[in-house]
Amino acid sequence: MPREPSARESALATRTEHAPNASALTIIRNFLAEHSPGGIASLLAEQYLGALLRPLPGFEGLALRAGFYRLLFARLEGFPFIYPGARLDHCRGIRAGRSFAVHSGAFVSGRGGLTVGNGVLIGPNAVIVSTQHRYELVDRPICEQGHRLLPTTIGDDVWVGANAVILPGTRTASGTIVSAGAVVTQDTEPYSIVAGVPARMIGRRPQASTASEAE
Ligand SMILES: CC(C)(COP(=O)(O)OP(=O)(O)OC[C@H]1O[C@@H](n2cnc3c(N)ncnc32)[C@H](O)[C@@H]1OP(=O)(O)O)[C@@H](O)C(=O)NCCC(=O)NCCS
């Protein structure tokens, strides 16, 4: 005798039925509701012009991207080092301090609001995001439920290692080192070194006032 499906199983079955039929129109409608005309123009600029500038090598490439992103960011101080292949998304939501460096393959999104201090280094293939998909409803596919915008903050003098991920809504304190491959799920302590998934503090930076004293 087959048993009755549980409430959770029924919800999952409904979800599975709906997912392939996710309405492209709903997704487009959500997108238009979430963005102003100026925001859409900025997104198009970062996609089309960004794609042209992204691969350019050498100092010319750095200089052209610096000028371009200065126009798109909410705030960008000094000269940024945006290396070939770095992807910057929803730039209107990014405020960055001096000497912002983003290495090749990194993905940095300001959709939910991203504030970055001075002297921040983002390593190759790191991912920094400031939104979550909504997923509370099980009878609608996630792709139709819109986004939660979660302002995300990175302090001054932060080094984000290769392949690290900074999750939305977190505050990475000034001086933090995020080790290669770490996933930051919570706020970090100033001058801490964090590693792993989820990232945990594995040490502190030396308390010396200059590099030579630290050696
Ligand atoms: C975090 C980091 C700076 C630490 O370097 P370090 O001070 O030389 O530290 P060590 O290599 O002596 O490692 C110290 C401990 O942390 C652990 N550790 C180091 N890096 C780690 C990582 N990415 N994930 C998990 N654990 C790590 C080591 O295994 C070691 O543990 P143990 O004491 O139990 O043996 C470095 O490991 C790192 O991740 N650098 C990022 C490099 C990078 O992404 N470069 C791209 C250029 S932007």
Confidence of residue 34 (pLDDT cuts 50, 70, 90): confident
Residue nearest to atom 11 of ligand 1 (CA): 179
pLDDT at 8 over 80: no
Give the mutation target among 99, 200, 201, 202 for probing the ligand 1 site: most ligand atoms within 8 A of CB. Answer: 202
Instruction: Return the domain boundaries, the chain.
Output: 24-205
| Average pLDDT of the chain, as a whole number | 90
User: pLDDT tens digits, residue range 182-209?
Assistant: 999 999 999 999 999 999 999 999 975 6
Q: Could you tell me which residue, 104 or 144, shows the higher pLDDT?
A: 104
pLDDT of amino acid 24: 86
The pLDDT of residue 215 is 45
- Give 68-96 pLDDT, tens digit per residue: 999 999 999 999 999 999 999 999 999 99
Any ligand 1 atom below 6 A from CB of 202: yes
With 80 as the cut, is the pLDDT of residue 5 above it? no
pTM equals 0.88
Query: Is the minimum distance from the CB of 178 to ligand 1 under 6 angstroms?
Result: no
pLDDT in tens, 105-125: 999 999 999 999 999 999 999
Q: What is the DSSP string of the chain?
A: -PPPPPHHHHHHHHHHHHGGG--HHHHHHHHHHH--HHHHHHHHHHHHHHHHHTT--HHHHHHHHHHHHHHHSSEE-S--EE-TT-EEESGGGEEE-TT-EE-TT-EEE-TT-EEE-SS-EE-TT-EE--EEE----SSS-GGGS-EEE--EEE-SS-EE-TT-EE-TT-EE-TT-EE-TT-EE-S---TTEEEETTTTEEEEE----SSHHHH-
Return the percentage of the chain with pLDDT > 70, whole number: 87
Asked if 152 and 169 touch (Cβ cutoff 8 Å), the reply is: yes
What's residue 95's pLDDT? 98
CA 191 to ligand 1 center in whole angstroms: 15
Instruction: Give the pLDDT confidence score for residue 175 in this predicted structure.
Output: 98
Report how far ligand 1's centroid is from the alpha carbon of 174 (Å): 19
Q: What is the pLDDT of residues 138-160, one digit of tens each?
A: 999 999 898 999 999 999 999 99
Ligand 1, atom nearest to 193 Cα: 1
Residues 6+ apart with CB under 8 A from 89: 46, 107, 108, 109, 110, 111
The pLDDT, as a whole number, for residue 7 is 60
Q: What is the pLDDT of residue 209?
A: 60
Question: Ligand 1 centre from 159 Cα, in Å?
Answer: 12
CA of 212 to the centre of ligand 1 (A): 21
Q: Token pair for residue 36?
A: 């102003």
Q: How far apart are the first and last CA of the chain?
A: 74
Q: How confident is the model at residue 43 (pLDDT cuts 50, 70, 90)?
A: very high
What average pLDDT does range 130-134 have in this prediction? Answer: 96
Nearest CA to ligand 1 atom 1: 179
Out of 3.30.565.10, 2.170.150.70, 2.160.10.10, 3.40.190.10, select the CATH number for domain 24-205: 2.160.10.10
Ligand 1 centroid, distance to 192 Cα (angstroms): 12
Residue 12, pLDDT > 60, answer: no
179 Cα–ligand 1 center, Å: 6
